[in-house]
Structure 1
Amino acid sequence: MQSHGGGNSRKQQFRERLGVLRETAVKRHLPEGRWTRRHWIHASLFTTIGVLMATIVPGFSSAIQAPVSQPRNTLLLELPELSAARQAGTAGDSWQVVRVKPGQTMGAIFEELGIPAATLHRILENSDAKKALTRLKPGTEIAFDLPVTGSLRTLRYDRDPSHRVELVVGTDKITERVIARETTTRTVVLSGKVGRSLNRSARKAGLTSANINSMTDEIFKYDIDFNSDLGPDDRFSVVVEQTWREGELISTGPVQAATFTVDGKLYSGFRFTRPGGKPEYFTAAGRPLKKNFIRMPIAYARMSSKFGARRHPVLGTMRMHKGVDYAASTGTPIMAAGDGRVQFAGWQGGYGRTVILDHGRGHTTLYAHMSRLGKIKQGQRVAQGTVIGYVGTTGLSTGPHLHYEFRINGVHRNPLSVTMPPPEPLSGAQLAAFRTYTSNALARIRTVEDIIYADVGPAEDAAKPATAVASAKPAPAKKNGKG
């Protein structure tokens, strides 16, 4: 370690060197017996530099010294042993919460916690517990009341959002206790701008993956091309029901209503169930959004060849192209363009792996060059949107793509221009009930959009609406999901 005396000697050395430099400069530049103004300036400058160096350099010398490590001593202390009563503890004072990992089983969890397998077997004798604990989803929380002895006292899990089950493990039997947990369901409006990514902005706004898929694959897929139509300032608003428990959001329901504004044009869709039917989405006028045929039977693809005469890319001859080609990566899912029956599924010459669907009234569609077929078989009925195969390059093909044909009574028609009669709209009492529902949903959406988009300019961040939605007034809460 450098002592303070060493620092003083270093200062002395700088002073001596400064004196030598000053004397040499004076002798070199000073005429006999007289100093000029220039000489006084030089002398003052050298003096100032010398003082600064004498002050700063020793400080650097001490600053870069390595710190001296101080020796440490470890002292072992003996702790008193726990009493038998303390080891046994009281029920509920030793909870350990485990979050299930992908692929993890109850047997593996019990083994990690050091709980005997015999205890697990006793618990699984309860039919409800067996049903809940043998099909664990990643992220599921299970709690164990384990005293220091390692003997399981209580196992806790959620049967459903509003009920928790506790299994008290006794010496002779296992007692089940069901605890009701209060939940609150609110109807909210989640809104946002497309920004750089619709998926990212929608997730920031609070929508689930299922909600986003409903917008893109059910409600607006007939009117909006989500690959090319969207701009960063286009916006969406969605009405959903959210279920909360003890201040935590535990689930978000399906889309009840949605609007999408693209380049200033408003599109809307509302969920409604006909008597004896299943939920569908309708326009504000009560017309089903679901068309007889999907505009594109494949998502996230680009059109690589149109309907009409062209030079065949493999044969090199001019011939009629009787369908539309969509280029996409191998393995991209291909959907049924409409409800129908599988007329053919297999290999068909230059088409490669092919599926033909019969939609009735003389309408058929053909899907060719598949890498593999979906889980379908000839004669099976499929619903619109069912995955019937995957993009490939089988048959006469130069690259992975879908060749899609549309035929009416055996005559090839352009899939992009063919018109079909619209599905049957709502009428009578159904339409009246629907209009009441839609007016309420639209009022909610307009209220929220008037608040969060009133002063939003083009440069505003797309995530801002998602924050503003939280201040919108929700619908009256419903306890335990009942209104």
Structure 2
Amino acid sequence: MADGKQDARMARKLAIRRKAQHRHSHFYQHCSHWSFNRHSEGEPIHWYRERWMLAATALLITVLSGFLIPAWATAMKPATVEPVEHTLLPLALPKIEAPTLKAPAVEDWHIVQVRPGETLSDIFKDQGLSLTDLQHVVDNAGDAKTALHNIHPGQEFDFLIGRNGKLEGIRFDKDEATRAIIRLDSAAPGATTVARTVETREQVAHGVIQDSLFAAANKAGMSNAMVIKLADLFKYDVDFVQDLRVGDSFTVVYDNVYRDGAYLREGDIVAAEFVNQGHRYTAYRFKRADGSDGWFSEDGRPIQKSFLRIPVDFTRISSPFSAARMHPILGLMRAHKGVDYAAPTGTPIHAAGDGVIKFRGWMNGYGNFVIIQHNAQISTAYGHMSRFATERVGQHVRQGEVIGYVGMTGLATGPHLHYEFRVDGVQRNPQTVTLPKPEPLPGMQMAQFQSKVVKPQLARLMEIDNNYKLARAESTKRSDD
């Protein structure tokens, strides 16, 4: 029974083998001689080419494995670090005490700006301080004391007041470039000064008059104060009330003053040009030999003429110079040998030029009357004053100095100045008389003025004019297009 089952299994295996050999007959035909089955009935094994190749490949793999596996194992093995022995030695270090850091105290200075009409005592009172505190400051101000006696609106005072209300310090400007600091919170109160950096930066303005000088200058970026400085420069040559015309132009180079990098104020004019009715006038700033600044025309003559054409700020000419006119009070035909400038009572009257007061007092018809002798030939006379200034007979006065005030004393129907210009005692028309030219700079100063001032500044003014003319031409061309 058992033999029968075994025979059946063997028969089934042989059937399966025959079926596989039949299905893969092409493989068996090619590889039948590779068989290692000892129980098969085939021929014994022979070393053909294929067997040699298989054997060589196996041998090569075996040799490579012998080299690669140990090298890889060695590379992966962590390096052995030999321990290093250290010897610890005790050292005696100096004892250092940590410093105590203390934050610097921040002082609370209170800034006060002087208002118009305010005195220093008013300012101290507003800060809750007494006149004793003020006196204490003045006593310790040293050479900065003058600044405390001459305060002005806009000036700043810095106060340092303690928690108990006691004044500990005060700061203020000794002058434009120096600050004074007075400390009162120590056993020996005193004042120190700190220098401040002051610099000037030049500004340029150009304008063409269409309506008024102020309107044109403001449009060009100039302040009213700078416009007045410009008018003062050329007032000897241009009557800014009657002579201005549409199309007149000006170019100005002036300084702005900065302190510690912040704008402080406007400075003075460096160079200027004014064209009035086709006539060109120039002014250049130059330091004289005595260190004072002056303004000169291109030919080196002072802009400030020897005489003011008009010595008062008037509202109108109430009576011109005339060989015959009807006197408003006497009702008689009489020559009017001067010019009457109507102005409000109290308007200051200025000396037309440098000279000596020859007469000061009452004169029939003229009321309060002043005569100034300027040189051997020329004198000027001023009548109908309401009152005199402080000058006395024989005293020297300078051009522009106030000698009295407009009134209507003597034979006058309203407040005005009667002004006469006399040559060798004979009255001449102040509006048309040829005024003497001032003397030019002396030789050495003239050379410096021409080379260092006129030449560079004139080139600059011309460049500015040309740039503005070009800009106006381009603007006109664009508007036409």
Q: TM-score range by the shorter chain?
A: 0.5 to 0.7
Aligned-residue offset at 1:363: 2.1
Q: Distance in 1 between matches of 2:144 and 2:301?
A: 46
SS in 2 for 1:396: coil
Aligned-residue offset at 1:326: 2.1
Q: Distance in 2 between matches of 1:297 and 1:118?
A: 48
In structure 1, runs of 5+ residues without a counterpart are 1-88, 461-483
Aligned length: 370
Give the aligned partner of residue 98 of structure 1. Answer: 112
SS in 2 for 1:455: helix
Aligned-residue offset at 1:176: 4.0
Q: Distance in 2 between matches of 1:353 and 1:434?
A: 44
Give the aligned partner of residue 125 of structure 1. Answer: 139
Give the aligned partner of residue 53 of structure 1. Answer: none
Q: Distance in 1 between matches of 2:384 and 2:352?
A: 16
Deviations 1:54-94 (A, max 9, x none): xxxxxxxxxxxxxxxxxxxxxxxxxxxxxxxxxxx964342
Determine which of 195, 219, 232 is the counterpart of 1:180: 195
Aligned-residue offset at 1:302: 2.6
1:237 paired to 2:236: no
Deviations 1:394-417 (A, max 9, x none): 211222222222222222322333
Give the aligned partner of residue 108 of structure 1. Answer: 122
Aligned residue type for 1:440? P
Aligned-residue offset at 1:277: 7.6
Aligned-residue offset at 1:118: 4.7
SS in 2 for 1:296: coil
Give the aligned partner of residue 303 of structure 1. Answer: 317
1:265 paired to 2:265: no
SS in 2 for 1:385: coil
- From the superposition, tell whether residues 312 and 438 of structure 1 become closer, same or farther in structure 2 (CA, over 3 Å): same
Give the aligned partner of residue 63 of structure 1. Answer: none
Q: Distance in 1 between matches of 2:190 and 2:380?
A: 60
Give the aligned partner of residue 441 of structure 1. Answer: 457
SS in 2 for 1:268: strand
SS in 2 for 1:253: strand
Give the aligned partner of residue 423 of structure 2. Answer: 408
Report the structure number with the largest CA radius of gyration: 2
Give the aligned partner of residue 289 of structure 2. Answer: 275
SS in 1 for 2:269: coil
Are 1:345 and 1:355, in contact at CA under 8 Å, matched by a contact in 2? yes
Aligned residue type for 1:150? G
Are 2:285 and 2:294, in contact at CA under 8 Å, matched by a contact in 1? yes
- From the superposition, tell whether residues 247 and 322 of structure 1 become closer, same or farther in structure 2 (CA, over 3 Å): same
Query: Relative contact order, CA 8 A, sep 6+: which one is greater?
Result: 1
- From the superposition, tell whether residues 311 and 168 of structure 1 become closer, same or farther in structure 2 (CA, over 3 Å): closer
CA RMSD in angstroms, aligned pairs only = 3.1
Are 2:314 and 2:341, in contact at CA under 8 Å, matched by a contact in 1? no
Determine which of 320, 328, 331 is the counterpart of 1:316: 331
SS in 2 for 1:429: helix
Matches within 5 A, 1:215-234: 215-217=230-232, 219-231=233-245, 233-234=247-248
Give the aligned partner of residue 47 of structure 2. Answer: none
Q: Distance in 2 between matches of 1:241 and 1:158?
A: 21
Aligned-residue offset at 1:296: 1.8
Deviations 1:258-286 (A, max 9, x none): 21222443211123344348543321122
- From the superposition, tell whether residues 105 and 405 of structure 1 become closer, same or farther in structure 2 (CA, over 3 Å): closer
- From the superposition, tell whether residues 91 and 157 of structure 1 become closer, same or farther in structure 2 (CA, over 3 Å): farther
Aligned-residue offset at 1:370: 1.6
Aligned-residue offset at 1:350: 0.9
SS in 1 for 2:324: strand
1:167 paired to 2:187: no
Determine which of 435, 441, 461 is the counterpart of 1:426: 441
SS in 2 for 1:314: coil
Q: Distance in 1 between matches of 2:398 and 2:326?
A: 35
In structure 2, runs of 5+ residues without a counterpart are 1-102, 477-481
Aligned residue type for 1:446? M
Aligned-residue offset at 1:99: 1.0
Aligned residue type for 2:263? L
Give the aligned partner of residue 365 of structure 1. Answer: 380
- From the superposition, tell whether residues 318 and 204 of structure 1 become closer, same or farther in structure 2 (CA, over 3 Å): same
* TM value normalised by structure 2: 0.68
Aligned residue type for 2:412? S
Q: Distance in 1 between matches of 2:183 and 2:143?
A: 14
Percent pairwise identity? 44
Aligned-residue offset at 1:208: 6.5
SS in 2 for 1:350: coil
